[in-house]
Amino acid sequence: MPQRPAEKERVRRMKRRFLALVASTVALVAMLPAVAHADGVTELRILGQDLLQTPIISCGSGTASYEAATNTLTLENATIDADGGNGIRFTGSLTIHLVGENKIEADQRGIYGNGVEGETVLLTGDAGASLTIVSGDEGVQVDDSTSPSELEISGVTLDVTSGARSALVLEGLSLEVTGGAEASLVTSSQSSALRTDADVAIADGSSVALEGAGSYGALVGGELAVEGASLTAKSSSTALWAKGNITIEDATVSASSSGNALRTDKTLAVSGDSAVTAQGGVFGETGVTVSPLAGERVDVWAGASEDEAAHYASSDGTLRSPFSSDATLNSYGGLSANSYVRIVRHEHSGAPATCTQRAVCEYCGDTYGTLDLSNHVWGDPVFRWYEGGKVCAVAFPCEMDPSHVSLMDASVSSAAGKAPTCTEAGTTVYTATVSFGGSDYSATTETADVAALGHKTELVGARDATALAEGYTGDLVCTVCGTTVKTGETIARLPMGTEVMYRLYNPNSGEHFYTSSLVEREVLVTVGWRDEGVGWVAPTEGDPVYRLYNPNAGDHHYTMSAHERDVLVEAGWTDEGVGWYSANEKDVTALPVYRQYNPNAATGTHNYTLSKDENDMLVDAGWNAEGIAWYAVEPL
């Protein structure tokens, strides 16, 4: 972006001040004996400018400055555009400190360092600081000519894209990525995204992403260790290849390629809470070792693809995933035969927990988690009927624990069942329905809750006794079903000048009624009076017995006293004339008819009977004995 005039003037003033400072510094240095930078850089150039001579230069809208006391190059929002060479070139050890967002575009190398001589090159910076490198050749190349050295990337973001060669090349230096650093190394050439002949360590929450279009994602000449960090790699060849051991501990590693995704010429060791995914398979020359966390298991999935992956099992069956202790898997003819491998902490799965049993893992057989008090195995419902079938509750007991019961109120409908008869009750069929657990359930019960119709009777075969022939009280026969409800009694022949007095009882009012009329008797029996047979035999002439009716109470009264009759008539009773006659007490055949009074009754207050036992029983029950009402005639 072109600089504004004000900005150009500010830069010119800054340059004049620094040139004056540099001039005085050069004069001072010229008076001193020459000193070698044994613990720092002996050469440091940016865009061809020597920062050992000019400690600060402008780089786009930012700056690059060097502090000799700390051997630190600080890039602050710097943009370094190297059109024909390297962006930064140095010799010896160096600390590069990043402030803000920085960028290097170079036709050759973005950063090129050599002659580190057993020291450390450190790329670090303020929180959130970053460096983006786009290069035609190597993105970053650092060489050590004599002794092991190290490139450390700590706490910053490094994003490198190279065109013709590797994104990061280290000759004789190991690589350490730490302090939560983030590094992305991408090459579009046939070279590796990362190449070093020494060790690589990624730790402390850092993450590294590698992509080698035509070769390796990473080619490590020493050992590769990923601890508490993450590493991803993609390539068309081997994604990750280490000549030494590969150790992965509490880390996430994902590698994918058309060849071996993850390869070591020694041993691959995966331990702790790690997750390793290899699209293209893994190969460890001396085996692949898995070590689970204490008290847990580790899964090894293997197959032609992720969808086809299954728990790994060795050909002889001695090793089978998941593993509860350290296990070494043979790569030859075993793990490496699978194009997809995933090594990860075992997660239990299988049938869910129930109300009485924790979940059981279908792979390792361990129980895990807690009880699920809401997960029951419901058995068949039990229907409980109330109020004769009108109300129904349904209980679903749990087959796991019968004390766990789900209760529900059912919806109840009814329909007519068996029709009632004269003697048997009819029924109602009740149907209860309930929906539970996605299914419908029903049950029926039949209740005899329709009252029997009762017999509708008529008197059949009744005839009066005469002096010449016996009579018959008649049979009570149901007009509906034809059943003989009550068999009649024979009435003895009567003496000359006598008639039979029939006794009936009203169960609703408690009244006894007496009549000589078969017709009246039959009518009363038909409407519900109880036939009590022959009360006594009365003469057809003699002293009259008056019959009266109370229209208010519906009660009858019988008396030989004309005075009592008249008093009752004046009180509103209806005089129904002579009901029958009484025999003369002096007749040899005269039988006394006893009269009792119930002081507690409103109707049926009087009772008349030939039976002295009945008289005495009623008196004992609280009735008042009122002596002899009249006299009957002893039948033949």
pLDDT per position as a tens digit, 476-525: 888 888 899 889 888 877 778 888 999 999 999 899 999 998 889 988 98
pLDDT higher than threshold 50 for residue 38:
no
pLDDT at residue number 338: 86
Q: Supply the mean pLDDT for the chain.
A: 87
Strand, helix or coil for residue 477: strand
User: In terms of C-beta density within 10 A (0-12 exposed, 13-18 middle, 19 or more buried), how is residue 530 classed?
Assistant: middle
pLDDT higher than threshold 70 for residue 159:
yes
| Of 8 and 74, the one with more pLDDT | 74
Q: Answer yes or no: are the C-beta atoms of 320 and 329 closer than 8 Å.
A: no
Q: Answer yes or no: are the C-beta atoms of 305 and 280 closer than 8 Å.
A: no
Strands (E), 418-489: 426-436, 439-450, 457-460, 471-472, 475-478, 484-486
pTM above 0.75, yes or no: no
First to last CA, the chain: 151
State the Cα–Cα distance between residues 133 and 109, nearest whole angstrom. 9
Alpha carbon distances (Å) from 1 to 9, 49, 103, 358: 16, 21, 14, 66
Going 167 to 172 to 173 to 175, the CA torsion angle's sign is positive
Residues contacting residue 30 through CB under 8 Å, at least 6 positions apart: none
pLDDT digits (tens, 9 = 90+) for 241-260: 999 999 999 999 999 998 78
Residue 124, beta-bridge partner list: 97
Q: Answer yes or no: are the C-beta atoms of 247 and 227 closer than 8 Å.
A: yes
CA proximity to 107, closest of 135, 78, 79: 135
Q: Which helix (H) or strand (E) holds 595?
A: strand 590-597
Give the model's confidence band at 234: pLDDT under 50 very low, under 70 low, under 90 confident, else very high: very high
Q: Answer yes or no: are the C-beta atoms of 122 and 74 closer than 8 Å.
A: no
pLDDT at residue number 13: 40
pLDDT higher than threshold 80 for residue 3:
no
Helix, strand and coil in the chain, % to nearest 5: 10, 50, 40
| Of 164 and 12, the one with more pLDDT | 164
pLDDT higher than threshold 60 for residue 16:
no
Residues contacting residue 609 through CB under 8 Å, at least 6 positions apart: 535, 593, 594, 596, 615
pLDDT at residue number 401: 85
CA proximity to 158, closest of 175, 182, 138: 182
Give the model's confidence band at 226: pLDDT under 50 very low, under 70 low, under 90 confident, else very high: very high
- Tell me which of 138-147, 329-338, 515-524 is least confident: 329-338
Q: What percent of the chain has pLDDT over 90?
A: 57
If phi over 0 gives left and psi between -120 and 50 gives alpha, with beta otherwise, what is residue 287? left
pLDDT at residue number 467: 66
Residue type, 572: G
User: In terms of C-beta density within 10 A (0-12 exposed, 13-18 middle, 19 or more buried), how is residue 73 classed?
Assistant: buried
Strands (E), 321-437: 327-329, 340-345, 350-351, 359-361, 367-368, 382-386, 391-397, 405-409, 411-416, 426-436
pLDDT digits (tens, 9 = 90+) for 572-631: 999 999 999 999 988 888 999 999 999 998 888 899 999 999 999 999 999 999 999 999
- Tell me which of 38-47, 78-87, 436-445, 612-621 is least confident: 38-47
pLDDT at residue number 39: 66
DSSP-derived secondary structure letter, 388: G
- Tell me which of 348-362, 370-384, 621-635 is least confident: 348-362
